[in-house]
Chain A
């Protein structure tokens, strides 16, 4: 039997032919972050000599831009590559290919030492408020850790800053002496937010920050994120499953499927006028909280295919109700189909 080992080592993957970067333009004038043809393959090793026998193509040729102060949603089914994209952008995992241009600098070419200053600028909030905080550290240690690494607010000033951050996220200064297990899920997520804000970042990847929370608490955290974003002028990549949550907080939305971008559009436009069949299906699948509305929904057949052998051509074609023979031939390029509205689908006679 061949044992298959999946490692995080980028290995010797062959980089597929890249389509030109698409300038899916932000609505604000100044671009803070530009992602060009981002790729992250996880090699699968097997056999006697642990040779690379395949690749999990988690992120495959993703391009978009974020304007300074913009909040952009990244949505898609589980396994579509959202977390991988978010982490590769921050270089928490090394991209296999592509560029991440932050404030004019391609950070994928920087050395570890050179990355340090950028790390302060770019922070992440994790999905799971239970797993993402070290249970043996006090809240003060958790929030203070990054300040320590970046030599910010030394001495007595640090505790003042931590107290200030706790108040900002709706906790009390005296909470800093407590441990994570003493807090509820919503409160832990607030601690995670305070930790991300501790070093005054300008860009934050929020990886499903409210998915694990109860509805009433989810609303509190969404509102908090919205307040902080406005107050601090943060640029945010907001990863989520739930299109309804994303719409509240985001200016634009990027829809991913099987490692690729399917559609990019301003929030309301995406919701009211989806142009890609996958977006249409995602919107239709979400249950409506109104028992008097009975609608016909599009039920996607089957599961998301394996990212090891994604379908040829359009990756969505195995579940697309509009698929035709041509869909298997080439990977549809992301084209502008309206102002700021992009889709990767060859058919213009639908939707």
Chain B
């Protein structure tokens, strides 16, 4: 790592497996990436590609059994400035990190909000635990946090229960809770997937504002490429439990070096430019053929080979390594140089 001082979190060769009745699911198999201070890293990939297992591994919230972190390290530098390996950290120390140094927000707010406590009590609890504040002070912090995330009449809302709020408001409460202790890292696992575009726009706007104020790093998990383009500085693309491409957000969108990333970009409908004109044949989306791979039956070679239109014989021989394509851009495809060549020719 060249910018040692700036790196907040470094995940190296992480392997998280689930031992199920049907066999071993290698949900995360040798995942490596890092996040710098103040940066937003997006992790994209189809459902089942290992995004959530990666984030739960960082939080050490993998259900054990059947899950287990089998290998690799997760190096994190907390507020105390000391670098720790979260894989081997004792649970007591891990508890101090969760909610204090690293917070997480989930896709479905009700999974992390407790229906029997008021939102004020829930936000306040973390504040009392990690900041040693009194109950009254904690309630004040909770009220301030609700105001910060744009909940109207926070003095009143702080005494309400989660079910009294709409989906968008609950998501705000969860963000308020996650940010109440000024974490260095916020992990957001599909925080807007269940929301309407109008509410999504509110939440993304809020997250950007708060990031500027608090200066935290964000690990943003999503499968929505529009959201990635809007939020990310860098992007990690996962497929079948592995990183298949990583790079700067503009590079990933403008010069992808992996066929899966290219396929994803081609398959998104883009508002406006393809709208159907009466009397003309309708345009079509370019779909990636086939299905998401079965994690128990991954092919021996490149995991994308069964769906890849560029596949050649060599692709099924061994899992391709991560190739450094320059400028911090990596690709797990043996043909990446040809894509680079082709893109140059198109641009020339």
Known A244-B270, A247-B269; contact A288-B226, beta-carbon cutoff 8 A: yes
Binds B, one of A151-159, A291-299, A307-315: A291-299
- Check: A222 CB closer than 8 A to any chain B CB: yes
B278 proximity list for chain A (CB < 8 A): 27, 251, 266
Contacts A187-B291, A222-B285 aside, 8 further interface pairs with beta carbons under 8 A come to A247-B271, A251-B278, A267-B275, A268-B277, A281-B198, A291-B250, A291-B253, A292-B254
Name the contact of B264 in the complex, choosing from A215, A247, A271, A286 (C-beta under 8 A).
A215
Q: A216-B263, A249-B282, A303-B166 are in contact. Are A271 and B271 (CB under 8 A)?
A: yes
Q: Which residues of B contact A267 (CB under 8 A)?
A: 275-276
Tell me whether A287 is interfacial, beta carbon within 8 Å. yes
Q: Which residues in chain B, 261-310, are within 8 Å of chain A measured between CB atoms?
A: 263-265, 267-272, 274-278, 282-289, 291-292
Q: Top 9 closest A-B pairs, CB basis?
A: A287-B226, A219-B287, A219-B267, A268-B275, A216-B288, A219-B285, A285-B201, A244-B269, A220-B287
Q: Are B198 and A248 in contact (CB under 8 A)?
A: no
Interface membership of A242, Cβ < 8 A: yes
Contact count band on B? 35 or more
Whether the Cβ atoms of A272 and B272 lie closer than 8 Å is yes
Alpha-carbon distance A301/B204, docked complex (angstroms)? 13
- Whether A303 pairs with B282 at a CB distance below 8 angstroms is no
CB-CB under 8 A from B113, the residues of chain A are none
Bound together, the chains give a CA A304 to CA B199 distance in angstroms of 10
- Inside 8 A of B166's CB, which chain A residues have their CB? 303
Residue of B nearest to A278 (CB): B198
A299 touches B201 (CB 8 A): yes
Is the CB–CB distance between A285 and B267 below 8 Å? no
Q: How far is the CA of A267 from the CA of B229 in the complex (A)?
A: 25
Cβ distance B267 to chain A, nearest Cβ, rounded Å: 4
Specify which chain A residues have a CB less than 8 angstroms from the CB of B229 in the assembled complex.
Answer: 287-291, 293
Contact partner of A223 among B169, B224, B225, B284, CB < 8 A?
B284
A-B contact pairs, 27 of them (CB 8 A): A77-B198, A77-B199, A184-B291, A184-B292, A215-B223, A216-B287, A219-B288, A222-B287, A226-B282, A244-B268, A248-B276, A266-B278, A268-B275, A268-B276, A268-B277, A271-B275, A284-B201, A287-B224, A289-B228, A289-B229, A290-B229, A291-B230, A291-B249, A292-B250, A299-B205, A302-B152, A303-B169
Question: Is residue A328 within 8 Å, beta carbon to beta carbon, of the partner chain?
Answer: no
Check B199 against A223 for contact (C-beta < 8 Å): no
Nearest B residue to A271 via CB reads B275
Find out whether the CB atom of A297 lies under 8 angstroms from the CB atom of B285: no
**Bound state CA distance, A299 and B223, in angstroms?**
22
- Report the bound CA distance from A267 to B272 in whole Å: 9
Q: Is B200 an interface residue (CB 8 A)?
A: yes
CA distance in complex: A299, B205 (Å)? 8
A241 within 8 A of B: yes
The answer to whether A242 touches B287 (Cβ under 8 A) is: no
Contact of A244 among B201, B227, B271, B276 (CB under 8 A): B271
What residues of B have a CB within 8 angstroms of the CB of A242 in the complex?
Answer: 197, 269
**B47 contacts the other chain (CB 8 A):** yes
Interface residues of B (CB under 8 A from A): 46-47, 152, 166-169, 196-202, 204-205, 223-230, 232, 249-250, 253-254, 263-265, 267-272, 274-278, 282-289, 291-292
A268–B268 Cα distance when bound, in Å, is 17
Bound-state Cα–Cα, A155 to B282, Å = 39
Inter-subunit contact A283/B271 (CB<8 Å): yes
A186 and B291 in contact, given A215-B225, A215-B264, A303-B169 (Cβ under 8 angstroms): yes
Please report the C-alpha to C-alpha distance between residue A218 and residue B268 in the assembled complex, in whole angstroms.
9
Most B CB contacts (10 A, CB to CB) among A214, A283, A284, A304 go to A214
B271 and A226 contacting across the interface, CB-CB below 8 Å: no
| Proximity bits, A256-274, B CB within 8 Å = 1, else 0 | 0000000000111011100
Q: Does A250 contact B (CB under 8 A)?
A: yes
Cβ of B244 to closest chain A Cβ, rounded Å: 13
| Cα distance, A222 to B274, chains bound together (Å) | 14
* Contact yes or no, A289 B197, CB < 8 A: no
CB pair A217–B292 under 8 Å, yes or no, is: yes
Contact of A247 among B46, B152, B196, B276 (CB under 8 A): B276
Task: Flag whether A243 is at the interface (Cβ < 8 A).
Answer: yes
Q: Which residues of A contact B228 (CB under 8 A)?
A: 289, 291
Residues of A within 8 A of B46 (CB): 214-217
A287 touches B230 (CB 8 A): yes
Q: Give Cα distance in the complex from A216 to B268, angstroms.
A: 8
C-alpha gap A223/B269 in the complex (Å): 11
Chain B residues lying within 8 Å of A219, measured Cβ to Cβ, are: 267-269, 285-288
Please state if B285 and A248 are interface contacts (CB–CB under 8 Å): yes
Closest to A293 in B: B229
Candidates B196, B204, B249, B269; contact of A248 at CB < 8 Å: B269
Q: Does A101 contact B (CB under 8 A)?
A: no
Residues of B within 8 Å of A303, CB to CB, are 166, 168-169, 199
Verify A291–B232 contact, CB threshold 8 A: yes
Given contacts A214-B223, A248-B274, A287-B204, whether A223 and B285 have CB atoms under 8 Å apart is yes
* Alpha-carbon distance between A18 and B169 when the two chains are bound, in angstroms: 34
In the complex formed, the residue of A with least CB distance to B265 is A289
On whether the beta carbons of B291 and A247 are closer than 8 Å, the reply is: no
Check A247–B288 contact: CB distance below 8 A. Answer: no
User: For B197, B268, B278, which residue has the most chain A Cβ atoms within 10 angstroms?
Assistant: B197
Asked if B282 and A286 sit within 8 Å, CB to CB, the answer is no
Contact (Cβ within 8 A) B197 A241: yes
| CB of A282 within 8 Å of the partner chain | yes
The reply to whether B197 and A285 contact each other, CB–CB distance below 8 Å, is yes
Tell whether A346 is near chain B: CB-to-CB under 8 Å. Answer: no
A218 CA to B288 CA, complexed, in Å: 10
Known A219-B287, A247-B276: A282·B267 in contact at CB below 8 Å? no
A116 CB to closest chain B CB (Å) equals: 34
**A320 at interface by CB-CB < 8 Å:** no
With A and B bound together, what is the CA distance between A95 and B269 in angstroms?
34
Distance in Å: Cβ of A212 to nearest Cβ of chain B:
10
